[in-house]
Chain A
Amino acid sequence: MKLRGRGIASGFAEGIAFVIRVPFSFVGGADPATGTVLDAATGGANERLDGRIFAFPHGKGSTVGSYVIYGLAKRGVGPAGIVNSAAEGIVAVGAILAGIPMVDHIDVGGLENGDTVRIDGDRGTVELPGVRARPVVSVVLRNGGRILLVRRSPSVGTFRGRWSVISGSIEGREDPKSRAIREVREETGLRGIRFRANAAPIHARDGATMFVVHPFLFDAPSRRVRLDWENVEHRWIRPEEIGRYETVPRLPDVVAAVLRMGRES
């Protein structure tokens, strides 16, 4: 599959992904002579950046980081490419000085260590040749400050027994919002729901499948839910309680994203 982002530093690169989930400082975070990761908070200490496609949310720390990236590339131990969720000046400038292709506006939460990744810094794209995209909708239903969680039935195809929100696959060129409304009706029997917000797609991985999740927030007129075969149990919870449930991948991010958009709109 191909992800569309924004080109920051030009050029094309292919390599094996090294993915961390926390912001990264090249000063103190990597050995400037060898490109070995030093920062234990990354969960990837002792990994080598050399030749990898390095994916992390965004840079942080000292502006000397730009020069460290340059030095790594010059010694041939720097990353082959950089992917960020949201680039900032230090890493962006460093990538340009070093001639390392870089793309941002990519949800790095969907990338995994070991993925083969191709990035195109001119087109602003990130390609995952071994991964298939599956677009889905995830609908957060809200009533009086609580949101609806449902537990997936043993008969569904994926994530059996996990907690989720109302969800379903998008077929062909179907409009995600009408799919969202249809799924709510089928899975809960609720009618008269009101659209509140949607958010940018979130990437959730399951092996070679990338769920491209389109998050929606709707207000429900009541809490009277009639489940169909796809779910076996439901609960109306406060959003902050979500950490107590074993959920489908990245559900907390989906919920946080639409609630934030809902507050802003």
Chain B
Amino acid sequence: MRLTREQRRLRDDGTPAQRKAMQILLALSRLSEAERLVPITSAHVSGASYKMIGDPGLEFLEDFARDARVTVPTTVNPLGTDLRQWRELGIPAEFAGKQERIARAYESMGVRPSFTCTPYLVGARPSFGEHVAWAGKQERIARAYQSMGVRPSYTCTPYLVGARPSFGEHVAWAESNAVCFANSVLGARTNREGGPSALAAAIVGATPEYGLHKDEGRSPTVRVNVTTKPHGLDFSLIGLVAGQQVGDGLPFFRGFRGSEEDLKWLGAALASTGACAMFHLDDLTPEARRARTAGLPSLTISRADLVQAQRSFTPEARRARTAGLPSLTISRADLVQAQRSFTDGTKADVIALGSPQLSGQELWSVADRVRRKPPRIPVWVFTSRAVRDENPEPVAAIESHGGRVLADTCLEVTLLEHRFGTVATPSGKAAYYLPSLCKQKVILDELDALLERYG
């Protein structure tokens, strides 16, 4: 293992938290046979919702925060509730109190108080050099405030929370959808980090170099031919179907195009049913041209697969379908099928939009739609605090039409189960996780179709 002088210093003479962080990175290097730590420009940490990490996580984070400080711009995943609206949501006071303590522990480590699963959507897109200097100075301002005893507000300006890496930058991100987006759409490089390993990387400023940090780890392993032209919900459905088939492989998609937001939904679903950390999309994603696909197995997803996926989704069905087909084609019929297989509810109690959190543009589009067709049942919209604050107009429109725009938290890590039995959502990732994490029934459909049905 080759270490820099600074890394050796942290290992031998650092603060207790720095030494722990180095020990974690060195042990993970041994497990993955990494030969060195690669410097990172940002970190994104998972494990912030009290619902997910419970008292053991809270206890560790509060202890660790005594002397742990991050050295690169670091964001953290959504909390278990909106810290400002928890009473209105009927969240128990003990839950909210412990959630607040987790948030405060992260903040005192210097983590940006933007609790988001879409760090790539928040803030501007500075160039590489600019990013580091800018964030570094902002960090010093934030630290100065903190050392004066000022508690950072959740109302951050976007430049405070921007963590959008450029092509080829190494980062250490947890949160599967963010990992998939960073690798695939931005061409940044990260493995699927765990919460503590991303935190250790944030403290040291480096992460073990293996897997997706290296060129050879980014080659596709399977071709996926999509024979239908996708729009809206279809991107989630393609992700659900392909993830089931591809497992921990690296798919090379062919046959369609999509916006950045479309690919966010595709990646989030792909990383839910599969352990995918990256995909290529022919002619579109930055590394697709370089990728060699000759001789790879291929598979086709049709509309029928998607219909199947939307129909009631069971673990047995998943196991049966992963039986390693050498080639997959996804057609229109597959998409319809997928949609049915992920739907097991009949009557929705709430329409939930998030998982991952919505972008500003998506907020505007939701506002337009609920204005045209006000819903009879609650509409809960999940976004980051920064995006919510940047877009007061659509937020007001959604909330005046029976909706609620929640920040700091997201769909499956918040407490929904105490209020709603059946959730209608266009998110493939939510459709995948809600039945297990929240014991809920799901209706997976387009927002327009849901507003038509419940308007």
Which residues on A are within 8 Å of B, measured CB to CB?
Answer: 6, 8-10, 32, 63-64, 66-68, 70-71, 74, 87-90, 92-93, 96-97
Contact = CB atoms under 8 A, between A and B. Distances in A.
Number of contact residues on B: which range applies? 20 to 34
A88 B54 CA distance: 22
Contact of B194 (A68, A74, A90): A90
B59 A74 contact: yes
Contact of B59 (A63, A71, A88): A71
B196 A66 contact: yes
B20 A64 contact: no
B56 A93 contact: no
A63 B28 CA distance: 14
Nearest to A33: B55
B195 A63 contact: yes
A118 B332 CA distance: 61
State the 5 A-B residue pairs at the shortest beta-carbon distance, nearest first: A67-B56, A71-B56, A67-B57, A67-B60, A96-B23
Contact of A10 (B23, B52, B194): B23
Contacts of A92: 27-28, 31
A63 B195 CA distance: 8
Contacts of A10: 23
A112 to B, nearest CB: 27
A66 B47 CA distance: 11
Contact of B28 (A68, A70, A71, A89): A89
Majority secondary structure, B binding face: helix
Nearest to A69: B56
A97 B27 CA distance: 12
Nearest to A99: B20
A64 B196 contact: no
Given A63-B46, A64-B54, A74-B63, 20 more contacts: A8-B31, A9-B27, A10-B23, A32-B55, A63-B196, A64-B56, A66-B60, A67-B47, A67-B59, A70-B56, A70-B59, A71-B55, A71-B59, A71-B60, A87-B31, A88-B31, A93-B194, A93-B197, A96-B20, A96-B24
Contacts of A89: 28, 31, 194, 197
Interface in B359-417: none
A31 to B, nearest CB: 12
Contacts of A90: 194
Nearest to B19: A96
Contacts of B66: none
Contact of B57 (A8, A64, A74, A87): A64
B30 interface: yes
Interface string B5-26: 0000000000000001001100
Contacts, number: 67
Nearest to A104: B31
B60 A96 contact: no
24 contacts: A8-B31, A9-B23, A32-B55, A64-B52, A64-B53, A66-B195, A66-B196, A67-B47, A67-B57, A68-B56, A70-B56, A70-B60, A71-B55, A71-B60, A74-B63, A89-B31, A92-B27, A93-B24, A93-B194, A96-B20, A96-B23, A96-B24, A96-B27, A97-B20
Interface string B47-85: 100001111110110010000000000000000000000
A120 to B, nearest CB: 15
Contacts of A70: 56, 59-60
A63 B56 contact: no
A25 B361 CA distance: 41
Contacts of B31: 8, 87-89, 92
Contacts of B196: 63, 66-67, 93, 97
Nearest to B59: A71
A64 B47 contact: yes
Contacts of B63: 74
A93 B27 CA distance: 8
Contacts of A64: 47, 52-54, 56-57
A66 B194 contact: yes
A121 to B, nearest CB: 10
B130 to A, nearest CB: 34
A64 B196 CA distance: 9
B30 A6 contact: yes
Contacts of B46: 63
A81 to B, nearest CB: 15
A90 B57 CA distance: 13
A96 to B, nearest CB: 5
Given A74-B59, A88-B31, A63 B23 contact: no
A32 B47 contact: no
B352 to A, nearest CB: 23
A215 B194 CA distance: 37
Nearest to A26: B56
A89 B27 CA distance: 9
Contacts of A6: 30
A74 B52 CA distance: 20
Contacts of B197: 89, 93
Nearest to A92: B27
A215 B229 CA distance: 56
Interface centre among A6, A8, A93, A97 (most CB of B within 10 A): A93
Nearest to B194: A63
A6 B47 CA distance: 29
A92 B59 CA distance: 19
A90 B54 CA distance: 16
B112 to A, nearest CB: 22
A4 to B, nearest CB: 15
A66 B56 CA distance: 9
Interface centre among B27, B30, B196 (most CB of A within 10 A): B27
Nearest to B26: A96
Nearest to B61: A67
A138 to B, nearest CB: 30
A93 B24 CA distance: 6
B257 to A, nearest CB: 35
A45 B24 CA distance: 30
Contacts of A66: 60, 194-196
Interface centre among B46, B56, B197 (most CB of A within 10 A): B56
A70 B24 CA distance: 13
Contacts of B52: 64
B195 to A, nearest CB: 6
Nearest to B52: A64
Nearest to B195: A63
A71 to B, nearest CB: 4
Nearest to A7: B30
